[in-house]
Amino acid sequence: MNHAVAGAAVPSAPRATPAWVLVALAALNTVTFVTELVTAWSWLPTVGHVLNPLIAALAVVLCWRAARHPTTPAVARTVWRLTAAGMAFIASSITVRLVTATGMSEVPAPVHTVLQVAGAILLAASIVRIPLGLRTRTQKAELALDVATLVVAAGVLMWHLVVTFAGGEITRSTVSHVAPVMAPALMAVLLAAKAALAGSGVVPRRALYLRAVSALVGGFGSAVGVLLLSVRPDVDVQLVLNPIASVTIALSAHLQIADAARTGAPAPRPRTFSTLPYVAVVAVAALLVRTSVQDAPDRLVVVAAAVTLTALVIVRQLLAFRQNAALLSVIGTHERQFRLLVQNSSDIVTITEPGGTIRYVSPSVLRVLGRDPDALLGRHVLDLAHPDDHRVARAAVGSVAATSGAAVTYEMRLRHADGSWRWLEVVASNLVHEPSVEGWVSNARDVTETREVQERLSHQATHDALTGLANRVLFGDRVQAAVASAAPGERLSLVLVDLDDFKSVNDTLGHAVGDGLLVEVAERMRAALRTTDTVARLGGDEFAILLTGLDRDAVDAVLVRIVDALLAPVEVDRHRLVVRASFGVVEGVRGDDPAELLRQADIAMYEAKRRGEGGFQRYRPGSQPLGSPRAAEDRAPGDGVDVAPAAAARGSDPAA
C-alpha cells in the first residue's frame, strides 16, 4: 500500500474541470430526455446518442487517471484499472448503438450485446475487488447478513412493482417476464451493498457511495427499460440512465484523487455502522401493511420476505449482542489492568479542574507524600506546594494553557505528611477540551533523591572537599560575576591569604593535624564574614576572600577581625596551635580583569609574606612580582605597598 512519506510534497488536488464538464453534459442529456418525453421532436434522441459515448469516454479518462495517480493505494489502482476497462467496453457498446441508431452503418446486434456484457462484468469485478476491511469472522458474518437483508428487501419490492405493473395478476407468464428483470436488478443491489458497506479505507467513503449509486442505476436501468417498453416503446431509457451511471463512476474516480491529495494516502479504517439494512426492513414492513390492507395477490410473497427479514435481523442482533459482550469483556479487562497499573504505580496521577481543584488523585500519593487520596479531593493542587514554587508551577501551566493536548514538564516541592518537602517532577497535559476529561492530567514522580545527588555532585564540583569552602573554580566565577555586575563607582576587594609556616606543621605534626588546622581556619574565616561575602580555599594553605560593597576602612576592619580570630589558639589532636597569616589586598571596579586582580593580590600577599611578620598589605600600581629584578632591589618598607598597622600583625605563640 502506498503511503505519503512524512515531509514529502503531497500531489496537489486534481482540477475539477473534467468532472464539472461531465456533470454539465449529463444534465444536458437529462433535459433532452425529459423534453423527448413531453414533445414529439424526432431529433432529440440523436442528441442523446451523441452525448452518451462522449460522457462514457470522459469517465474512462478519469478512471484511468485515478489508477495511475501516485497517492492511490496499490489495491485501489487495481479497482480503477478494472473500472476504466469496463467503462471502455461500455463506451464502445454505446458507440455501436450510436452508429446503428443514426443509420451510419449496420452493426450486428451481438456485437453491442457482447461489449455491454463484457463492460458490466469488468465493472462488477472492480466492485468485488474493493477490500472489505474486515478482520474477524463475526464482522464478515454481519456484512453477509446486511447484504442478504438488502437483497431480500430489494427483491420483494421489485417483485411487487412488477406485479403491480402487470395488472396484479401472478401467472406463469408473469414469473417468466419478472425473472429477466429482477436478475440484473438484484445483482446491482448486491454490488451496491458491497460498495456501500466496504470499509477498508483504500477507496474514500464518498467514492464508495457513488459506486453503489452507479451499480443501482446500471442494474435497475435494465429493469426499468423492460417495464417502460410496454408503455413507451419509442423511448429508450438507457439514453438517460447510462450517462448517470457514467457520471457517478467518473465522480467517484475524481474523489479518489481529491481526497488522497488533500489528506495524503487514506489510512485504513474499520467498517462503520450502516443504516441501509434497517431502512430496507422498514420499507418491507410498510409494504407488508399495504399488501395486507389491499389484499394484494402477492401478499404471501411479501409475508415470506418479511419473515425472512425478521430472521435475518434476529441473527444479526444476536451477533451484535455477542460482539458487544466480548467488547465489554475486553473493556472490563483493560479497565482492571489500568486500575491496577495506576494503583500500583510509584507515580502520582492527578486530574484537576481547569481552576486547579483536585478531582482525582491516585493511591500512590499515600506512598509518596503519606497523604490519604480522598482527603485531597476538592483541594487546590497548590495547597501542598512550597510557596516559592507557586510561580514556577503557574508559569509552566500557563505556557500551554491555550494549546489543547499540549504538555509541560516542571519540578516543584510538595509537603509530606511528616512536614518534610519532597521534590516532584510533574508532567502536566492540557486535556481541558477533551470531553472525557475536561481538565488537566498530571503525572508526578518523586525526584528528591535524584536532586540531592545532583546537588551533592554540583557542590563537590564547586567546593573544597576538606573545608567545605568554595574552590578555585567557584571563586573565579564569583569574582567574574562581581566585576561584571558592580554598579558604577562601586568597589570590591579581593584578598589572598596564605598561612605562614604551615609546612612545618605538616612536617612535624603530620597531615592529619594540618588538615584539622585548615578546617578550623576555614570555619573562623567564614564566621568573621558576612553571608554575602565569599571565602574560598584555592589549594594547600592558600585562601581567598571576595568582599563587595565595602569601603577601605570597612575592609580593614574585616581583615583585623579575621586576624584576631586566627590568633586565638587552636587545639587539634591534643596540639595547641596559633595561626599567623599573610594577606594581600587589591581593590577593583566594574570592568576590571579578574585574572589581573588575582595577580595583583598575589603580589601584595607575597610582599606581606616577605616581611615575615604576618598582617595584610595592599597592592599599589607599580608593585612587581616577587623575584623580578625591580622587586629584588633594596627598598624601604612600604615602597609600592601599603603596610597594615602593627597592631594587626601578630606573631606565633612560642608555647605552641
Q: Please state, in angstroms and rounded to a whole number, the distance separating the CA atoms of residues 65 and 45.
A: 31
Report whether 265 contacts 241 (CB < 8 A).
no
Neighbours of 92 (CB within 10 A): 21
Q: What is the largest CA-CA distance in the chain?
A: 146
Q: Please state, in angstroms and rounded to a whole number, the distance separating the CA atoms of residues 168 and 448.
A: 89
Instruction: Render 194-240 in DSSP notation, one character per residue.
Output: HHHH---SSS-HHHHHHHHHHHHHHHHHHHHHHHHHTT-TT--THHH
Q: Please state, in angstroms and rounded to a whole number, the distance separating the CA atoms of residues 201 and 264.
A: 12
**Phi-psi region at 468: left, alpha or beta (left = phi > 0; alpha = psi -120 to 50):** left
Q: Please state, in angstroms and rounded to a whole number, the distance separating the CA atoms of residues 649 and 638.
A: 15
CA-to-CA separations, 137 to 219, 276, 319, in angstroms, rounded: 30, 21, 11
Task: Look up residue 516 and give its amino acid.
Answer: G
- Residue 125 cell numbers, joined: 469485478
Give the length of the chain. Answer: 656
SS3 at position 171: coil
Residues 6+ apart with CB under 8 A from 151: 186, 189, 190, 193
Dihedral sign from CA coordinates of 277, 283, 284, 286: positive
Report whether 425 contacts 377 (CB < 8 A).
no
> How far does CA 582 lie from the centroid of its chain?
65
Catalytic hit among 259, 389, 533, 541:
541
- Residue 168 cell numbers, joined: 396484479
Task: Look up residue 448 and give its amino acid.
Answer: T
- Residue 608 cell numbers, joined: 606581606
φ/ψ of 138, rounded to 5, equals -65, -40
Nearest to 95 by CA among 138, 148, 52, 42: 52
Question: HSE-up of 253 (CA within 13 Å, CB side)?
Answer: 32
Q: Please state, in angstroms and rounded to a whole number, the distance separating the CA atoms of residues 24 and 232.
A: 27
541 labelled catalytic: yes
Nearest to 582 by CA among 602, 565, 553: 602
Q: Please state, in angstroms and rounded to a whole number, the distance separating the CA atoms of residues 556 and 482.
A: 20
- Residue 370 cell numbers, joined: 503519606
**Which are the catalytic amino acids?**
541
